[in-house]
Structure 1
Amino acid sequence: MYKMDKILRAIAQAYKKALISFLNSLGERDIDDLITLQRKALERIQIPFDINAKDEAGNTALHIAARGGCKDLVELLIDKGADIEAEDEYARTALPIAAQNGHKDIVELLIARGANVEAVNEYGNTALHIAAGKNWEDLVELLLDRGADIKADNKLGWTALHLAAYNGYKGLIILLLDRGADIEAKNMDEETALHIVTRNNSEELVLLLLSLGADIKAANEKKETALHIAAERGYKNIVEILLHNGADIDARNMDEETALHIVTRNNSEELIFLLLFLGADINAANDKRETLLHIAAEKGYKNMVELLLDKGADVKAYDEYSRTALLTAAEYGRKDLVELLLDGGADIEACNDEGKVALSVALDKDEQEVAKLLFDRSLNVNATNEYKVTVLHIAVEYGWKEIVELLLNEGVSIDSTDEFGKTALHIAALCDQKDVVELLLNKGANIEARNVEEETALYMAAEYDCKDAVELLLNKGADIDAANEDGDNAVLIAAKNGHKGVVELLLDKVANIEAKGEYASTALYMAGRHDHQDIVELVLDRDFDIEDEDKERVLHIAIKRGHVDIVKLLIKKGVNVEAVNHMGENALYAATYRSHIKVLEYLIGIVDNPNIFHEDSQVMEKLIHGRHYDQDGPLTPVVSFLSHYKEQLNLNRSIIHGYLVGNIDKIIIYELNKPNNNLQGLYNILEAFRNHNDHAFCNSFLAMIEEAVKSSFIPKIAFDSSKKIITKPLKVKSELKNFKKLFDSKDQIITEDQNEYAAAFRKIFEQNDKKIDEWLSKTENCIVGLVNMTIAPTDSLGKISNGSAATKVLISFLDPESVLNLFFTRYPGEKDLLQAVEQNCSEPNNDEPTAKCPKLSHTNENEHGYDFGEEDNGAEIMGGTYSGGVEESKGNS
């Protein structure tokens, strides 16, 4: 019997979803079966069980019975001790669930049996909110009669009155107001019922609320009155109703805008006529000081601009940026509006807060058609803004040759300068506007004019790689040697910036290639310093008479900056690698100065003189204290070099120096002097590596030291000391590796659920026959997998229909045998499974492997879409309407 019970439970669990679906599919044609099942369920209620047990959605039997309208079952459950205040996953008790489904008799019963009438769901809705959202007036009255708070609000601040207003329930609005609802109650957006019915364009309810005393001037959190809302939405009839009932026509919202601003922005001529006819202020300005004319000009509403001008709008009013409507229209390229405004008396010389007139604004925004119109009607072509920029400067910058020519023909000042001293020619040159440059020069522009930094147009064109402008200026006789305040000329700046094409042009005209700029820089030096190899080669190939000293200076700066390709080029071109600078430094010293390994590697291969020390300093000190720029460069060449010249490096003093820069595994150099074996440097470096557990380095360094011992370069004591120090980090590394392996072991990680699961199985094996339980465990898993694989959704086993509420309650009480018997009667083909299980149970196969079939052991009860009952996640509160500002969708639970 024990084994049979367990098998029945296993099968019932495997068929759980199918059985639930099956029960809920029973309809009126199965009345006999229903009665039988209900009777069996009621009989089982007499047996001790947990009456407050919850399903996955948190529903108790009382929730389900209340939802289904089963008054007798509700009463029976309460009598049996069901918790009347138990909550489901949406924090609902049975009362709001009954209210949501319109079961007035159950609501009355629950309240009579002590249910809290003010209980709320997760959205803060009470039963009163829910009934109001459904427009169940009799239920609303019942709740109010039983003490429900008519002023209670939900989490969004909505009262029952807000809900009735939103859904347009006129009768309920009257009922609630008769029962004491606050007509001025505000939700969390500070909106009253009047705001809500206005937004919904309900003329009837607007008139109703106004007749019942609603405050027509009430404003929400944005300071919008009902008039603002009606104007925004274009509800002409409601606008008229509100104005005829005393609404303030010039009321301001949080942006200081009136209804007139709003309808202007929406281009609603009809409402503008209405508001102006009823006395709205045509020149009212918002918080940005924008008038209606500004808004219409920005939006491009020509008909609106005409209307406003016709009605007397102030054409000279300016906004917070000192823009008139004309400046706004020019900025947005509204040519037709610019003409309208000019004809309407707009001031063409008015400036914005940047000092720009409309013509400057149009040019600045690349609105050429508007600019031409303004130019034709302009009075002062030499007007400047606060930065001394003229209309000519702007036209030149954008390359508008036609407008430039018009301005020049009108007598604009051709050499006027902005605040940085730039003339129109400077601007045209640096923008590479060749045609405009030529036009300006032909009209008499000063080709040698200088800005505040003493830069000519040629210099600026060379600086910004404007090849066409450079060529034209050179052909027009520009001074190629003209230097700025730092002494740099066009060739120097082009070489510095790497503009090879410009440099080529300039070299053809240059008078003095050795001309020196700031810090005695030549064009060759500039190119070498800034790693422009192509320009270095270009200059060298031109056979200029460049002094060797200057070439050597370029070599040294290229070495110090790590420009290895330029170093190779210069040496290939014959620059003396053994030359020293004014400080006595040679090329090798320069390479070690900042430890450019790639350069040093190249120089080691070609240098003849191993003396890399200059008269005041040692290269090793530079290696120790300098910086390493080639982060990825190997140090092997340096070690090889130093090892090769170890005898020359013996300066009768210890050179135990470590060099470690960038990442710690990049570079280390040790040189040990035979007569003086000071190991302190060695210890320091090894300590650094030990702290980082660098296994690879320790091995390679140990090998290097051992090799040095064999060659008698360093004494054996150094190797022994190194090995002792290195042993420690290797040991730590090993321990860390083992610890990580242990930590990563999946067997060591047991979650709380897994622990509970294991404990439960231990208890089972302790209390029962181990062989039988082992077999049953495998059988249960195989049945579950088999069911999931073979049962496909059908009419009877697919998604459930409504079913009776009482049937849904049965699942909480029926024993597996009752349901299975009926199920197998209906579906005899499934009975074979039960018989097979019974047969296997009578003769357990003790040799059956314990491993679960991976295909069958992975279950997914939702795979076939089975579900149980009607879910309502709190959201049928309003039957698809709006509940307190929270859209609560329908579903199944």
Structure 2
Amino acid sequence: MPIKQVRPSPLLDLPIEILLMIADILDTRDVGSFLRTARRYASILDSHLYQRARSHICADENSVLEWAAKRNQAPVIRKLLRKTRDAPIPLEAKSKALCLAAEAGMHCIIELLVDAGADLSSAIDMGRSSTCSALQLAAGNGHETAAHILLGMGADIAATNSIQETALHYAARGGHESVTRLLLERGADVAALTIERETALHYAVPSRNEAVVKLLLEKGVDLEATSSTGHTALFSVFDVESSCSESILDLLLAKGANVAVSEPSRHLTPLHFAAQDGNERAVRSLLANGADVMDRDYLGHTALHIAAESGNEAVVRMLLEKGADVSAVAVEEDDTPRNFAKSNGHEAIARLLEEAATLRLKNLA
């Protein structure tokens, strides 16, 4: 049986000018497919494709440069940079790709882009609540090697974003011990404050990483620094988005954290927050370190009011044992702990408080 010969494509005989005109009317993806069909097309259309890529980089938020930066495609970036020497890629595009590479921890790409002129100081809008630099993104995602390279290439360790967060704030919030240690060794300022007057310690405590908190304390971070809402780091233990870390609470208390501090606006103390959480261990630790069961918030509520409202019987008993006033009245005449428990359906606690009030009256008689 005779072997069937494959007839060459008539396209192969077309002049280069015609092939380039065809490429001009094709989508970039189709140009890529076109040049892969024959070696001759590849040699002709390769430069055309990379020049086309440059125009997409200038206009498209999801360009091939960003794609390559996020996926560690160093050969693509090298070729892209080489093929666009005559019409260089804009600085802003290279800087955004640098941020994406830092976010993904692609340290080889970081070196390529910085060598190609990407701006280490650029803060790029990454679709978050604030702008971010490459170092901040590397720190916030725990990429120690990337952070190390960025610092070695001249990234400013003290640079802040639009809400005054430093790279140290990013690392602390993420609970990244190795990056936090690196930044502190390189001289990061533990006293740096955000626009809300929060230190890295405020950020580290809710991350629940005890090692990061220890590192900051060892470097002398101010344990009593207050945020714009009047919160010290001790309040951050009871962050609403994370459960209380008892080991971090113990660490802060061992370092002398002030348990008597209260918010300027609502006058809530850490004991109020612990009672609201129903955390027996936290309540016990605060009481053992001098928290006052008689402290009241701006509405006159004691921790006993809060515990009764929340329905935690063990915390209620603990507060009573420490001398909490069962008859304490808040702003309204009937705002007693017992009424708080009853109005929230905690009948057993209401009875417990009623018994405690009766016993108190007998003792006073």
Flag whether TM exceeds 0.5 (same fold). yes
What residue in structure 2 maps to residue 275 of structure 1? 286
Which secondary structure does the structure 1 equivalent of 2:124 belong to? coil
Aligned to 1:320: 331
Compared with structure 1, are the counterparts of its residues 210 and 65 closer, same or farther at alpha carbon in structure 2 (3 Å cutoff)? Answer: closer
Residues 797-853 of structure 1: per-residue CA shift (max 9 Å, x gap) = xxxxxxxxxxxxxxxxxxxxxxxxxxxxxxxxxxxxxxxxxxxxxxxxxxxxxxxxx
1:178 to 185, 210, 235: 185
Matching of residues 856-867 of structure 1 within 5 Å: none
Classify 1:98/1:36 alpha carbon distance in 2 versus 1 (closer, same or farther; 3 Å).
farther
Equivalent-residue separation in structure 2 for 1:45 and 1:325 (angstroms): 74
Tell me the SS of whatever aligns to 2:56: coil
Residue 242 (structure 1) shift = 0.8
Residue 10 (structure 2) aligns with: none
Q: Distance in 1 between matches of 2:341 and 2:105?
A: 60
Deviations 1:27-76, CA, capped at 9 Å, x for gaps: xxx9xx6x766533456589xx7784226624667666666313542442
Alpha-carbon distance between aligned partners in 1 of 2:283 and 2:261, rounded to the nearest angstrom: 15
Residue 113 of structure 1 deviates from its aligned partner by: 4.7
Q: CA deviation at 1:302?
A: 3.8
Equivalent-residue separation in structure 1 for 2:29 and 2:81 (angstroms):
30
User: Pick from 40, 43, 46: which aligns with 2:44?
Assistant: 40
Q: Shift of the alpha carbon at 1:11?
A: 11
Aligned residue number for residue 244 of structure 1: 254
1:240 aligned partner, one-letter code: D
Counterpart selection for 1:137 from 144, 158, 178: 144
- Structure 1 Cα separation of the partners of residues 80 and 198 of structure 2: 40
Q: Counterpart amino acid of 2:144?
A: E
Any idea what the Cα deviations from partners look like across 1:572-613, whole Å, max 9, x if unmatched?
A: xxxxxxxxxxxxxxxxxxxxxxxxxxxxxxxxxxxxxxxxxx
Aligned to 2:4: none
CA 1:79/1:244 → structure 2, altered by over 3 Å: closer, same or farther? same
Cα separation, 2, equivalents of 1:152 and 1:108: 20
CA RMSD of aligned residues (A): 4.0
Equivalent-residue separation in structure 2 for 1:135 and 1:281 (angstroms): 40
After superposition, residues 727-738 of structure 1 pair within 5 angstroms as: none
Q: Tell me what 1:152 maps to.
A: 159
**1:150 to 1:333, Cα distance in 2 relative to 1, 3 A:** closer
| Distance across 2 between alignment mates of 1:303 and 1:101 | 46
1:241 positional shift: 0.9
- The 8 Å contact of residues 117 and 126 in structure 1, kept in 2 or not, is answered as yes
Q: 2:134 aligns with which of 118, 121, 127?
A: 127
Is residue 87 of structure 1 aligned with residue 87 of structure 2?
A: no
Q: Cα distance, 1:290 vs. partner?
A: 0.3
Structure with bigger gyration radius? 1
| Amino acid in the other structure paired with 1:324 | T
Check 1:23–1:87 CA distance in 2 against 1; reply closer, same or farther (3 A cut): same
Shift of 1:273: 2.3
- 1:69 corresponding residue in structure 2: 74
Distance 1:136 1:10, change over 3 A: closer
Aligned with residue 343 of structure 1, among 335, 355, 358: 355
Letter in 1 for 2:93: E
Equivalence map 1:154-169=2 (5 Å): 154-169=161-176
Distance 1:23 1:241, change over 3 A: farther
* AA aligned opposite 1:250: A
Q: In the alignment, does 2:115 pair up with 1:115?
A: no
Q: Does 1:54 align with 2:64?
A: no
The CA deviation at 1:214 is 1.7
- CA apart distance, 1:103: 5.2
**Unmatched runs of 5 consecutive residues or more in structure 1:** 350-893
Question: 2:180·2:212 contact (CA, 8 Å) conserved in 1?
Answer: no
Residues 299 and 109 from structure 1, CA distance in 2 versus in 1: closer, same or farther, beyond 3 angstroms? closer
Equivalent pairs counted in the alignment come to 334
Measure, in 2, the Cα distance between the counterparts of 1:338 and 1:104: 61
Q: Hey, what's the Cα distance between the residues in 1 that align with 2:283 and 2:29?
A: 66
1:175 CA displacement: 1.5
Question: Quick one: percent identity of the two aligned structures?
Answer: 29
- Could you say what secondary structure the match of 1:263 adopts? helix
Decide whether aligned partners of structure 1 residues 117 and 292 sit closer, same or farther in structure 2, where only a CA change above 3 A counts.
closer
Q: Does the alignment pair 1:263 with 2:274?
A: yes
Cα distance in 2, alignment partners of residues 331 and 83 from structure 1: 67
Q: Secondary structure at the match of 2:122?
A: coil
| Alpha-carbon shift at residue 170 of structure 1 (Å) | 1.8
Determine if contact 1:69/1:98 at 8 Å carries over to the other structure. Answer: no
Match of 2:208 among 188, 201, 206: 201
The letter of the residue matching 2:44 is K
Q: Which letter does structure 2 place at the counterpart of 1:54?
A: H
Work out the CA distance in 2 between the residues paired with 1:147 and 1:269. 49
Q: Is the 8 A contact 1:51 1:80 kept in 2?
A: no
2:237 pairs with 1:227: no
- 2:118 aligned partner, one-letter code: A
Q: CA deviation at 1:292?
A: 1.9
Q: 1:11, 1:114 → 2: CA distance? A: 30
Shift of 1:225: 2.3
> 1:717-764 CA distances to partner (integer Å, 9 max, x unpaired)?
xxxxxxxxxxxxxxxxxxxxxxxxxxxxxxxxxxxxxxxxxxxxxxxx
Q: Which amino acid aligns with 2:74?
A: G
Deviation at 1:346, TM superposition (A): 5.8
